[in-house]
A and B are shown apart, each in its own frame.
Chain A
Amino acid sequence: MVDAARHPKITIKAYSEVERVDGYIGNFRAFITQKPRYVIEERCTGCGECVPVCPIEVPNPFEMNIAPRKAIDVPHGQAVPLIYAIDIENCIKCYQCVTACGERDAIDFLQEPRTEEVEVGAIIVATGADHFNPSVIPEYGYGRYPNVITAMELERLANSAGPTVGRLIRPSDGQPPHRLAFIQCVGSRDKRFNEYCSGYCCMASIKNAILLKQEHPEMEITIFYMDIRSPSKGYEEFYNRARQMGIRFIRGRPAQITEDPETGNLFIEVEDQDLGQVLEVEVDMAVLATALIPQPDTQQLATTLTLARSPSGFFMEYHPKLRPIDAPNDGIFFAGTAQGPKDIPASVAQGSAAAARAARVLNAETWEIEPVIARVEPSLCISAQGKKCGLCAAACPYNAIIVEVGRAAQIIPAKCHGCGGCVAECPQNAITQDHFTDAQIVAQMREYLREKPEEKILVLMCHWCSYGGADNAGVSHFQYPPDSRGIRVMCSARMDQDLVLEAFRRGAGMVLVSGCHPQDCHYISGQQVAARRFERLFRTLERLGINPERFRVEWISAAEGEKYARVITEMSQKLASFDKAALRRENEAARKAIMQRLLRWRSLPDMAAVLAEEEEEEKEAVLE
């Protein structure tokens, strides 16, 4: 960190918040607010003479609130930059620090927040994670029994720079503990709180156990665990060493901790799975290996940078296997636990990878983007005619569309990822997507529904999940009836309701629209845009006199070939149960109304071309 601070090309903006980020890859503009330290950065020498004179002591969060800090202080001893800051909420404004600062004259109570604009080419999000507070688990008694502590508290109590200068004592009586328990998976691998495995805690507890055992060989240390997860290089050997040192491992998740109110000792009740017996283990102190959880302000930053979050709450990467460092937005990268729980080696590796990914952007003259971006036809956009609309911008997961009344909507090509949500949402059909135009899709539909359309299931599938699912069904040799005809688009958000109506107009027996599961959507929130639209579409179909049972919505992931086959089989059975003559009558009755709805859409130049060609063919067929 000190090296980074001294580096000529690195500027550290500590104690600051990113307020807003505009622009796109290679051309971001970040608005960063420096919070007031009430200390003039250039004048503070970091001497610390202001600290002893400050009369206010508050809990020190860096020391897990076990030790105090002053109302003027640095976050911790190794803080970079070494500039003191006043905790204005707790400061009583006695101005003793001003006197102590003397000629350096670094203290300024009139400082205000300052916002500055910074131009950057790439952004790395490395905001870390937070710790789970185990006081919500009543059976472990954290917060009620003083000798139940968290792993982070142990880190401070055992640290030679910590509040006890490295002497491990227990909070109830200040005595050194002789029997110590580590309890794993507190708040993680627990559906009540966090379902995921935090990953780092097995090795962290083993590390602490080994350190303590080396220092106090007589100490009885027990680790209670469900599974020891030690899959990285050298980890299993480390675990073996802990066993050889005499650290006791008990396989079983403790059910409860109780306290003897007289001695403060703890009793851990656990079923030793290997014995199949319930043990009651008396210890002097218990350490809870708490889960890593997302920072409380993750959503705020996600909104600022237009990022997605995984179901676990951490930031979501572009692709879990192929692009694990990249955010869904180009030019933004992740490092460390902001993206998901991980240990130090993995964080360092991801940090290096993020720096390399960012360097690619900074060193590029031009940047290649996907060719499937959306375009606006200005003459059709009603925004240009002074009307308020903005449906496209609301559907865009990337904030790539600028809508101002009086001007046609503008799409920033570098920000567009080509989901096509805006194309489908635009009521004026003013937006098209390159390589996925309505005319191209309708041309495919025409071929698929040319003969006996009422015996066919037309499927609209998203590129990333459902198309993969259908492919998976094929390569896995899952059998399903041959009635379905699939059209691939990039995202379920692209599945315009006009396309579904057009399929019914052409007499399709059934229509399936299928995309990713909400948490898997490749385009952050494209699936949600689609889901809302399909919800409305059911009612529209009913009004048009089309049996809504002929329309189905399914979220199928790329791994769910079995589900794809099952859905098609079910639909095929349903289709077989319909009376075909009745279907044709239903289509006939609805056709006029559908035509009415699709009037403007059908008159778009490229659509009209496809339809004209079709009419030509029909005429020829009649003549023959």
Chain B
Amino acid sequence: MIRPEQMDRRFVEEILAEPGGEHLLTCWSCGTCAATCLVRRFNPAFNPRLILHKAGLGLREAVLSSAEIWACSACDACYPRCPQGIHISDVMRAIRNLAIRAGYEAPGPAAQVDAATCSGCAVCTRACPYAAIERKPQMVNGQERTIAWVDRNLCQACGICVAACPSGAMSLEAMNDAELLTRVAAGGWLEQPGFLQGASDAPRLLAFVCQWSIRAEEEWERLQGLNDEHLRVVILPCSGRVEPAHVLLALSKGVDGVLVMGCHEGECHYQRGTYLGRGKVALLNEMMAAVGLAPQRVRFAESSALERRAFERQVAALREAIAALRPAEISEVRG
């Protein structure tokens, strides 16, 4: 039971005084944010409405000690729908600031830096959508060097820095290159010859799918069920995590086409992952054209959690595009 003395009016005032927390009390608990939020797919305990409600009641300890306050990635899908116009991720940030001051820390996971390989080039600091990485002087093997340092309270584990790091120094639990390649190649899938080589009756496709760009739980399960010898689905935390090297590797092993599916521009769960993912594919397409590979074989597609069967439509479209390539120009790397 919650006793009246647990309802701390000062806690409410502290949130209201914190930049971003001003609108806390206008929430009337309609639940629009909770039903919009995609975080609950992976973290069913996360409910922004409940956090705001508890905070509005002044339940200091319950709010500050909860692991859920760190789960909001500020994708702001809820903000344009909120009938009270509350910028919910700002309120979350205000609450987190109070939690940090009270000595709490985000539970993670967070990106990690391998101090020995990090060159301190700062590519990751620019790529990070949350400004969670900075360069700091650190002692490495008895020598002071300025290298990357991750603020785990800000990191949202999108993996964009892992894809960006040219030295392979960034890593993220379960999302490292080796782990991804294992998933792509499981069961020797990568080694089978493809349609463009005349060895298969239908194009063989590899799809990197951002986990936020597809619909609710059962749709995701359905997606896994689509895996067969002609299709391999690899779920990524964000389309910004995709690495051109992985795409090229797949093509060189005989995969006919690669689909990268991310959220619509402006709806990215990690703010600018879509921008980065799409940019990478666009550059890759140019590179492919330059070396004589048909750029149609790699495509970036946008989808959202609002769309049903968007993935099937995109796969069908790519299959069609690849089937149209044959036999006119079977792409070969020149020279």
Contacts and interface: CB of A to CB of B under 8 A. Distances in A.
A256 interface: yes
A280 B80 CA distance: 21
B83 A278 contact: no
B53 to A, nearest CB: 9
B36 A255 contact: yes
A258 B81 contact: no
A337 B49 CA distance: 34
Interface string B72-107: 000000101101110000000000000000000000
Contacts of A261: 308-309
Tell me what chain B mostly uses at the interface: helix, strand, loop, or mixed: loop
Interface string A251-271: 011111011110000000111
Interface stretch (A63-71, A188-196, A312-320): A188-196
B279 interface: no
B54 to A, nearest CB: 12
Nearest to A257: B306
Nearest to B313: A261
Contact of B83 (A252, A253, A273, A280): A253
B185 to A, nearest CB: 34
A139 interface: yes
A256 B307 CA distance: 11
Nearest to A272: B31
A276 B215 contact: no
| Interface bin, chain A | 20 to 34
B35 A191 contact: no
B32 interface: yes
B215 A255 contact: no
A270 B83 contact: no
Contacts of A273: 29-31, 49
B29 A191 contact: no
B216 interface: yes
Given A191-B83, A271-B35, A258 B30 contact: no
Contact of B85 (A192, A256, A271, A272): A192
A106 interface: no
A184 to B, nearest CB: 10
A32 interface: no
Interface string B308-321: 11000000000000
B57 to A, nearest CB: 15
- Which of A139, A270, A278 counts the most chain B CB atoms within 10 A? A278
A255 B307 contact: no
Given A254-B35, A271-B35, A271-B47, A259 B308 contact: yes
A270 to B, nearest CB: 5
A258 B306 contact: yes
Contacts of B32: 253-255, 271
B280 interface: no
B220 interface: no
A252 B31 contact: yes
A254 B309 CA distance: 21
B234 interface: no
A185 interface: yes
A255 B81 contact: yes
A260 B308 contact: yes
A256 B47 CA distance: 16
Interface in A271-288: 271-273, 276, 278, 280
A219 interface: no
Interface string A586-604: 0000000000000000000
Given A189-B83, A269-B35, A226 B30 contact: yes
Nearest to B36: A255
Contacts of B36: 139, 255-256, 269
Given A191-B83, A273-B29, A278 B309 contact: no
Given A190-B83, A192-B85, A252 B308 contact: no
B230 interface: no
Contacts of B30: 226, 252-253, 273
Interface residues of B, number: 25
Interface in A179-235: 185, 189-192, 226
Contacts of A189: 83
B31 A253 contact: yes
Contacts of B28: 226
Interface string B19-53: 00000000011111111100010000001011000
A380 B9 CA distance: 62
Contact of A271 (B49, B81, B83, B307): B49
Contacts of A270: 31, 35
Interface string B212-247: 000110000000000000000000000000000000
A280 B85 CA distance: 24
B35 A278 contact: yes
A441 to B, nearest CB: 41
A502 B302 CA distance: 69
A546 B139 CA distance: 64
Nearest to A140: B81
A473 to B, nearest CB: 24
A51 to B, nearest CB: 44
Contacts of A260: 308
A226 to B, nearest CB: 5
Contacts of B307: 258
A255 B83 contact: no
Nearest to A255: B35
A253 B31 CA distance: 6
Contact of A139 (B215, B306, B309): B306
A587 B47 CA distance: 62
A430 B309 CA distance: 76
Interface in A18-65: none
A270 B40 CA distance: 13
A256 B49 contact: no
B79 to A, nearest CB: 11
A191 B85 contact: yes
A39 B147 CA distance: 86
Contacts of A191: 83-85
Nearest to B307: A258
Nearest to A225: B30
Nearest to A139: B81
Contacts of B34: 255, 271, 278
Contacts of B215: 258
7 contacts: A139-B36, A252-B30, A252-B35, A254-B32, A258-B215, A259-B308, A271-B47
Interface of B: 28-36, 40, 47, 49-50, 78, 80-81, 83-85, 215-216, 306-309
List of 4 A-B pairs having minimum Cβ-Cβ separation, nearest first: A271-B31, A255-B35, A253-B30, A271-B34
Given A253-B35, A269-B36, A271-B31, 14 more contacts: A139-B36, A139-B306, A190-B83, A191-B84, A255-B32, A255-B34, A255-B35, A258-B308, A269-B35, A271-B32, A271-B34, A271-B47, A271-B49, A273-B30
